[in-house]
Amino acid sequence: MATRWPLSLESAAPVLTVSGPAGVCMRTRFMRSKGALSSAGFAAFLFLFPGLFFYVCFEIVPLVGTTVLSFTNWNGFDFRQIKLSGFGNFSEITKDHVFWLSLLHNVIFTAGSLTLRLGVALMLALILDQSFPAANFIRGVYLLPTVLSLVTIGVTFKLALSPTLGFIVPFFKAIGLKALAIDNLGNSKTVMQTLVLIDTWCGVGLFMFLFTSKLMTINQDLHEAAKVSGANVFQDIWYVTLPLLKATTAMIMLIGVIESFKIFPTVYIMTNGGPWHSSEVLSSWAYFQAFTANRVGYGSSILFVQLIITVIFAFIQTKYQPREIE
């Protein structure tokens, strides 16, 4: 008996060759199952193809293109004029103070937004885990900002926060909070905090939803046992609920870090990186370089660095991801 693993997709099953009449039957049965498997494989490929096609076209190709362009000094006017420039762009990055400022803003934004989103989402999930009227409705309300377009959110908040035509500044003035009744988006000292708060508002619903889904799977017997042992509500949360949420929290943090680090629409719509780069992030600075300053190569190199940083984050988090507790 010999087993020969075929190398092609067409015959995805091993062919077992056995001599004698029984062997002939075995071969026939295996050939039938090989046919069934190859048609199943082909069907799988057909279903996967559209998604794979779009993934390759809109993720892989631009990724490779951006990586290649980051080693050129192309100005975007003529493909024939693309010329490699080695590591010149990366050398320039080291001396570009706006790049380092943008990176710092990305870190501040990620840390601030993630911390707030996690904390608020967890708190909401724990509160809404209790059974009370309208709990589902309230969960839906918190989830709503997640489905809105970031452009819509940016335009709306920009108008709402305008001291000239918005309602938030007059409201703060009316209730005596004069310290907050300023042009928060036009002030370099308050613009980042304002963007973090808006981003938190946008993203807390999704995190809350993920926490809620996990909370629903926790065996109620564990809470009963804790209660019987004399644990109060806070002890129950600390010793029973939170350990069981470790893996979920780690996964949410991974999503949150990657999402926050790539922030672009809200910054572009609301502040365009201003005033004077005080809300500039890597994506907006790369966009300016590539599409306004006619320095596509340099803009691509900024995005390449952003990609490397994001991949490193993701790798570290995945490597040290806590295991699910059963």
Partner 1 sequence: MMRQRLGLLVLPLLLISVLGFSQGKVTLNWWHEFGSGGEKDGMDLLISTWNKANPDIQITQRPIGNEEFFTVIRTGLAGDQPPDLLQYEGNQQTRDFAKAGQLQDITDIWNQVKDNYTLFRDNVISGISYEGKVYALPYSWHGGFQIYYNKDMLAAMKMPVPKTFEEFLADCEKFKQKGIAPISLGAKNGWPAMQWWQIFLAQRVGAKRVNDALWLRNGVKWTDPDFVQAASEFVSLKTKGYFSEGFASDDYGTAQSAFYASKSPFFETGTWLINDAADNPPPFNFGFFPVPRYSNAKVKTDSVGALLTTFGVPSRGQHVPEALKVTKWLSGPQANGIWARRAGVIVLYKGLMEKFAPGYLNEIFAAVYKDVKGGTVPWLENESPPAVGEDLIYNGTVAMLTGDLTVNQFLTNLQAGYEKYR
Q: Which residue number, 256 or 299, has a Cβ lying nearer to partner 1?
A: 299
Q: Transcribe 198-239 into DSSP letters.
A: HHHHHHHHHHHHHHHHHHTTS-HHHHHHHHHTT--HHHHIII
Q: Where are the alpha helices (DSSP H) in 129-190?
A: 135-147, 150-161, 168-174
The least CB distance from residue 173 to partner 1, in Å, is: 11
The least CB distance from residue 198 to partner 1, in Å, is: 13
Amino acid at 207: F
Q: Which residue number, 69 or 257, has a Cβ lying nearer to partner 1?
A: 69
Tokens 């062919």 label which residue?
Answer: 15
Amino acid at 226: A
Q: Which residue number, 180 or 247, has a Cβ lying nearer to partner 1?
A: 180
Tokens 């997640």 label which residue?
Answer: 146
The least CB distance from residue 166 to partner 1, in Å, is: 8
Q: Which residue number, 35 or 274, has a Cβ lying nearer to partner 1?
A: 274
The least CB distance from residue 285 to partner 1, in Å, is: 10
* Closest listed residue to residue 158, CA positions, set 265, 273, 269: 269
Q: Which residue number, 109 or 287, has a Cβ lying nearer to partner 1?
A: 287
What residues have CB less than 8 Å from 134, skipping those under 6 apart? none
- Contact residues toward partner 1 (CB under 8 A) are 75-79, 81, 158-159, 161-166, 169, 183-188, 270-278, 288-289, 291-295
The least CB distance from residue 276 to partner 1, in Å, is: 4
Tokens 């009227």 label which residue?
Answer: 133
